[in-house]
Amino acid sequence: MSGSVLRILRNDVDAHRVFLVLQGHIAGEWAALLERECEELTRSGLQVALDLSGVIFIGRSGLEVLGRLDLAGVGIFDCPPLIADMLEQEGIAVVRNDERTNHEEPPGTRGGSADE
């Protein structure tokens, strides 16, 4: 399973919001890691959003984690169209590019800090 990894890049939008830019596979141990990371961030009072533009595969465990994160208020953005369709069929809310509001800026549009 050497190619089945998940890379998580953190982009602090401001003092209250953070985007996690995901690349690769959301499955197995990587899905669990993503869930722990999101829970830790939300417990610290941050609003968390996930950018799935670099995700190429989501396994059953990944779907379950994304479903729980969606229910917990974590936003899901910028999915490739087929992945967005799959998530929506599972009842997971996805914000597509044409649905984004001024509050929901894409990662990298404002100065984030890489100091933490």
The pLDDT value given to residue 99: 58
Options 3.30.70.1520, 3.30.750.24, 3.40.50.300, 2.60.40.790; which CATH number does 23-99 get? 3.30.750.24
| pLDDT of 100 | 53
The rounded distance, in Å, linking the Cα atoms of 99 and 55 is 20
Compute how many other C-beta atoms are within 10 angstroms of the C-beta atom of residue 112. 17
pLDDT, one tens digit for every residue, the chain (116 residues): 446 899 999 998 888 999 999 999 999 999 999 999 999 999 999 999 999 999 999 999 999 999 999 999 999 999 999 999 999 999 999 998 765 554 444 444 333 333 33
Q: How high is the pLDDT of residue 3?
A: 60
Strands 6-12 and 17-26 come out as: antiparallel
Q: Where in the chain are the domains?
A: 23-99
Residue 98: its pLDDT value, please?
A: 64
- The answer to whether the beta carbons of residues 16 and 47 sit under 8 Å apart is yes
